[in-house]
Structure 1
Amino acid sequence: MQTYLTTEQLATRIHYEPRTIRNNLKDTVLLEGVHYFRPFGGRKILYIWEHIERDMHQGAAERDISIPMASGAVCHG
């Protein structure tokens, strides 16, 4: 079973403004057919929470966070 969210509901869950989702995330990191769809071919957009949550966690795990140390070593966080 999947959880479908409106833009406003998604914004509440991920702590972004709905406008940021519409203007910056949709069609760049949130892709039609993967993260959202338009039911019945209409204008309304429904986001698939489980797909977004999976990809948010995957992106965080793939990022390499390195902190250069004064000694020249690198600490990986």
Structure 2
Amino acid sequence: MANTYLTTEELASRIKYDPRTIREQLKDAVLIEGVHYIRPFGGRKILFIWERVEDQMLHGYVDVIPMIV
């Protein structure tokens, strides 16, 4: 399945939030790096993975396999 990558501004437009709210309140609290967004090529730019953000909004959980200790 191909992923849809969005900038902060594009994501804000889709979910009707201010880009600043996404950066300051949602990122790293609700939207987790490596799950909901990536920093391609180790840079500063953030690309959100739309399908994972949408799943978080609809279901409220992250589908991650827990580590066995």
TM-score of the superposed pair, with normalisation by structure 1: 0.75
Greater C-alpha Rg: 1
User: Aligned pairs, how many?
Assistant: 59
**Structure 1 residue runs without a partner (length 5+):** 60-77
TM-score (norm 2): 0.84
Larger strand share, 1 or 2 = 1
Root-mean-square deviation (CA, aligned residues, Å) is: 0.4
- Consecutive aligned runs of 4 or more in structure 1 exceeding 4 Å deviation: none
Q: Is there any run of 5+ residues in structure 2 with no aligned partner, and where?
A: 61-69
SS at match of 2:58: helix
Return the structure number with greater relative CO, CA threshold 8 A, min gap 6. Answer: 2
